[in-house]
Amino acid sequence: MGHRANTRGDTVNIRAGKTRWLTVGAIVVVVVGIAVLLFIRNGSSNSPQTPVSTPTASYPTTPPANTPYQTAPPSPTPPTAENLEEYIPTEFDGYTWDAGDEDPTAMESGAVSASSGTFQSDDEALTANLAEWGSEEEAAAFAQQRGEEENPGQTPLVDGDINSGAGHYWYYAIDDQTGMIYWYFGTFTGQLRGDPYSVQEFFLAFPR
């Protein structure tokens, strides 16, 4: 009987031991499972996130050239007169036109019409030769050539365009008392002689 009682006690102890090991094993399994879950969660939260692409404005690789605003050059403005009679003012800036004979030099060179005379004020007279030509090229060639032939060995003191290229002038300083200016404007030519200051002022104000 004593031997059987011990056997039952051993059996009870063995079963109790198995139960404890099962309990411990279950706890370990649970703890390990929790640890794995925490590891996976922490790993996923710490892993680098792929940035979300956002649309961006695209620009040219090279900036456009900085072209400043440029105004177009003024166009040449031809004279409004249709003939020599209209081109010569009868009265102008205190001067009165006193017509004389034809200008023989211009007529021999092929002018359509030509006139010589003076622009007379109360105290001064400016001698002038004016002519009309068949073309602007003829007028330009005659005006420049006449200035060179009548002032040999001299160069114009100043020259420049009239009305943005519709004509050109050449001014010669003969001496302290005399100035000469030659010009063409469209199909008209002119020559003016007199006091240097008066000649320049008269020409600058001459009707265009």
**Enclosing H/E stretch for 95:** strand 95-99
Quote the CA–CA distance of 168 and 148 in Å, as a whole number: 14
Tokens 């404005």: give the residue.
57
Q: Which of 43-47, 116-120, 178-182, 186-190 shows the lowest mean pLDDT across its residues?
A: 43-47
Sorted by where each begins, the domain ranges of the chain are 1-43, 84-205
Query: Quick check: helix, strand or coil at residue 199?
Result: helix
152 or 33, greater pLDDT: 152
pLDDT beyond 50 at 22: no
- Block residue for tokens 């622009």: 119
Kindly tell me the burial class for residue 181, based on how many C-beta atoms sit within 10 Å of its own C-beta (0-12, 13-18, 19 or more): buried
Question: Cβ(191)–Cβ(146) under 8 Å?
Answer: yes
pLDDT of residue 208: 73
> Quick one: pLDDT at residue 52?
53
Q: What is the pLDDT of residue 78?
A: 85
Q: Which amino acid is at 150?
A: E
Instruction: Identify the band that residue 14 occupies on the pLDDT scale cut at 50, 70 and 90.
Output: very low
Contact between residue 130 and residue 143 where contact means Cβ atoms under 8 Å apart: no
Does domain 84-205 match CATH 3.40.1000? yes
The pLDDT score that the predictor gives to residue 3 is 47
Per-residue pLDDT tens for 53-105? 555 544 445 444 555 555 556 788 888 899 999 999 999 889 999 999 999 99
pLDDT (tens digit per residue) in 26-49: 454 444 455 544 544 555 445 555
- Average pLDDT in the 178-191 region? 97
